Amino acid sequence: MTISAGIDTAPPCPQVTGAILAGGSSRRFGQDKATLQLGGKPLARWVAAALGPAVADLWLVTNHPLQHLSLGLPLVTDLVPFQGPVGGLAAALFYARTPWVLLASADTPLLTPALATALAGAAGSLTRPALVCRTERGLEPFPGLYAVRLFNRVQDFLKEKRNFMGFLEGIRPSVWPPDSWRAYDPEGASFENVNRPEDLTGLAARVPRQHRDPGAGLSETLNSNSPVRNV
C-alpha cells in the first residue's frame, strides 16, 4: 500500500481511523471546498491519499452527504448538524471502531503521507488523549490524533462552546514542536489551508510529486460497500 516514491511506507495502524472534515460551503469559492479541483482531483481526495495508507478505516465527515457521494469516500454525518469542526470530531469519535482517530481537514491538500503515518504511528505510545503539532501560528488541530475516549468531553464542550482551540486547551494534548514534525514535512505544507481562490492557484504549482496520483493507495483502505451513516 504505497502512494509515493521516495517515502518509506509502513502498514496501516490498526489502532487508528482516519477522518476528513468536509466543512461547509465557502462564500469565497461559491461552493463546497471538499469538491474543489486541484490538479484535476477534488481536494478531499488529496487528503484521503495521504491518510489512507496510514489508517485502518477512512471516512469523510459531512453534513451534505449527497453532494459528497461523487468523491467515492465512505461518509458519516455529524450527530448534530452544523456544530463546526468540534462537532465533526464528535462524529468521528462516535463512529470509530478503533481507539484513536486521525483527524484532517479537506482543505489541506498538501498533507504529507509521511506526517500522517508518523502521527498514526504515535498512537501506541501516547499517554495524553491527543497529539497535535505546533507551528508559528500556535497549535494546529489538523492533522491531529484524538483518543475515542474523549467523546464524552467533546459532547460536554459542545453544550457551551464550539471553538476547537478552546477544546484543545482543555484537554492538554501532547504537542510536536517544529523540530519534531519537520522530519515528516520540512516545509509545513500539511498545515496550509485553501481559504481563497488565490490559495488554490498557488498550490496548483506545488502539488508534490508523491501526490500526483491521489487515488493510489486507497483501494485497500476504502470499502466501496460502506454505508452513509446517520443520514
Q: What is the pLDDT of residues 39-72, one digit of tens each?
A: 889 999 999 999 999 999 999 999 999 999 999 9
Where does the pLDDT of residue 133 fall: very low under 50, low under 70, confident under 90, or very high at 90 and above?
very high
Share of the chain above pLDDT 70, in %: 82
H or E element in which residue 56 lies: strand 55-62
Going along the chain from its start, the domains and CATH numbers come out as 13-211 (3.90.550.10)
**CA atoms 180, 1, 108, 228: torsion sign:** negative
Binding site for GTP, residues? Answer: 21-23, 33, 78, 107
Question: What pLDDT does 136 receive?
Answer: 96
In order of 33, 140, 200, the CA distances from 27 in angstroms are: 10, 23, 15
Binding site, residues? Answer: 21-23, 33, 78, 107
Cis check: omega of the bond before 14, within 30 degrees of 0: no
Distance between CA atoms of 61 and 78, rounded to whole angstroms? 7
Binding site for Mg(2+), residues? Answer: 107
Say how many Å lie between the first and final Cα of the chain, rounded.
Answer: 31
Burial degree of 127 (CB within 10 A; 0-12, 13-18, 19+): exposed
Region 127-152: mean pLDDT is 98
The predicted-structure confidence for 179-223, as pLDDT tens digits, reads as follows 999 999 999 999 999 888 888 888 887 775 545 444 544 544 454
Distance between CA atoms of 42 and 27, rounded to whole angstroms? 18
What helix, strand, coil percent values describe the chain, rounded to 5? 35, 25, 40
Region 124-141: mean pLDDT is 97
Distance between CA atoms of 199 and 181, rounded to whole angstroms? 23
Q: And the C-alpha cell for 212? A: 500526483
Distance between CA atoms of 166 and 149, rounded to whole angstroms? 18
